Structure 1
Amino acid sequence: MTTPTPVIFIHGLWLHASSWSPWMDLFRSAGYDPVAPGWPGDPDTVDEARSNPEGIAGHGIDDVVAHYAQIISNLSVKPILVGHSFGGMIAQRLLGQDLARAAVAVDAAQIKGVLPLPLSALRATLPVFKNPTNKNKAVSLTAEQFRYAFGNAITEEESRNLYDTWAIPAPGKPLFEAAVANFNPHSPASVDTKNEGRGPLLLIAGGKDHTVPETVTRATLKQYRHSEAITDLLDFPDRGHSLTIDHGWHDVATASLDWLKKHSL
């Protein structure tokens, strides 16, 4: 009997790990063995995360990478990684370290070397950057801020429902680290984009994403131009940052599965 390939889902800022539940069900039905561990300090439920924001405060990119690397070390085989937003950056770092068979990075936060900084991205992250002390705090979004950052391509009602269901406080530190990545030679947002031996990578872009605009994802793709390893780009022109959790999540998940099947993963 063949052991199912493990798949680790990695959430980004402001979403709880349980937001991957529909994806996990779909991947499990497709024959994979999915898990969605939270970031270090994440509690088990959305309500607990909202009532104890201090639990995740202060955790940076390196902390999160080390956390998932430890989880991977306990597996008998390399997993496939699926990450959204900062989870997409984390997935790329782990893949570049040869800790995964492949990775799908959905609307991934920009890695070191990516230069575009669209105004919409600045506005989406303003709740964190407006106060320098937020670097060591956990910051929550209001429903209106969530609507701009995540739910701009869906109805206001759906955006509010997603906010009420999945939104949690997020550590400010990763955003501050990413903001100065191109000025820091040892930035935790650095990814080994030149690794020739890594597994395949799929970058997914949402054409209406305010938080990680398509220009950022296309600039990320260019960072891999010096590697012969498989790096593909898939664009969903009418989707925003909520594309992993809104009514169209199934299209994105199915496309990810199709890509994995294409590469016999």
Structure 2
Amino acid sequence: MTSTRVPVVFIHGLWLHASSWQAWAERFAGQGYEPVFPGWPNEPATVEEARANPEAVAGIGIDDVTEHYTKIIQALPSAPVLVGHSFGGLFVQKLLGQGLGRAGVAIDPAQIKGVKALPLAQLRSGSPVLGNPANRRRSVALTKAQFRYGFGNAISEGESDELFERWTIPSPGRPLFEAAFANFSRHSAAAVNTANPDRGPLLFISGQQDHTVPDVVTRGAFRQYASSPAVTELRQFADRGHSLALDQGWGEIADASLTWLAGKVDVTAA
């Protein structure tokens, strides 16, 4: 990459393909950023290929994905902004905590170690994976109904089904187990250095109708940073669910992210 524009790395979560960030990439490019949206390790290049080869990502865990994005970030010409949704939001926090990235936006981020809230809606959303311990070593695909409950509960059934058909892929079960049992593991992969005083600014975005990462979980993660002098802020959207980064209202979330970043990042100073 030879551009002098500030890079922005988009990181997706479970069950969505990296190409689901395309609209965000175009919106950020229009505001002076240089976007990249690489998939997880071994993720096939298209939704169709990912569905045809589900075992390509089986067994991949949080540390594997963190290392993967670390290498991507280190290969960029300058420190990027990091934007992540769901487990992507967890990775944004891990990477910023390690001193990578100049700022981050964590949208409905997966649960990090230290967050103790465990709402029933979250348990139900995770049950397709967590209900079978063997899924830790497998890849798992959601059904249309499971996607509707976990992602599309705040939108119409028709839109939820359309998003399911367009973007969903099988994903590794291991990260969900690692996050779910993080508080019982001394050296959990879901641990984040929330005390790093030198990390870049971090914005949490929460959809308050989210079943997969309920608002109480995002607020719990936000509170983990209470003792850090680094900038940490929270923005809540009352009527949005876990699909907020890709449903027809995605632009509102993207624009909120850009507005916040405008006060934190000089896009002319790559």
- TM class by shorter-chain length? over 0.9
Structure 1 match to 2:108: 107
CA RMSD of aligned residues (A): 1.0
Q: For 1:1-265, list aligned pairs within 5 A.
A: 3-265=4-266
Q: Is the 8 A contact 2:126 2:212 kept in 1?
A: yes
CA distance in 2, matches of 1:54, 1:16: 15
1:92 CA displacement: 0.4
1:106 CA displacement: 0.1
1:45-104 Cα offsets, whole Å, 9 max, x none, are 000000000001100000000000010111121111000000000110000000110100
CA distance in 2, matches of 1:150, 1:133: 24
1:201-259 Cα offsets, whole Å, 9 max, x none, are 00000010000000001111110011010000000110000000001000000000000
Counterpart code for 1:143: K
CA distance in 1, matches of 2:3, 2:133: 51
CA distance in 2, matches of 1:2, 1:263: 20
Task: Look up the SS of the partner of 1:242 in the other structure.
Answer: helix
Task: Look up the SS of the partner of 1:191 in the other structure.
Answer: coil
CA distance in 2, matches of 1:184, 1:144: 32
Counterpart code for 1:176: F
Counterpart code for 1:40: P
Q: Is the 8 A contact 2:3 2:34 kept in 1?
A: no
User: TM-score by structure 1 length?
Assistant: 0.99
1:29-50 Cα offsets, whole Å, 9 max, x none, are 1110001000001010000000
1:183 CA displacement: 1.1
CA distance in 1, matches of 2:139, 2:164: 17
Q: Which runs of 5+ in 1 are unaligned?
A: none
CA distance in 2, matches of 1:240, 1:2: 35
1:264 CA displacement: 3.3
CA distance in 1, matches of 2:32, 2:114: 36
Task: Look up the SS of the partner of 1:33 in the other structure.
Answer: strand
1:2 CA displacement: 7.9
Aligned residues: 265
Task: Look up the SS of the partner of 2:205 in the other structure.
Answer: strand
CA distance in 1, matches of 2:262, 2:130: 40
CA distance in 1, matches of 2:3, 2:40: 30
1:130-182 Cα offsets, whole Å, 9 max, x none, are 11100000000000000000000000000000000000001000011111111
CA distance in 2, matches of 1:212, 1:204: 11
CA distance in 1, matches of 2:78, 2:178: 31
Q: Once the two structures are aligned, what percentage of the paired residues are identical?
A: 58
Q: Is the 8 A contact 2:103 2:264 kept in 1?
A: no
CA distance in 2, matches of 1:198, 1:10: 18
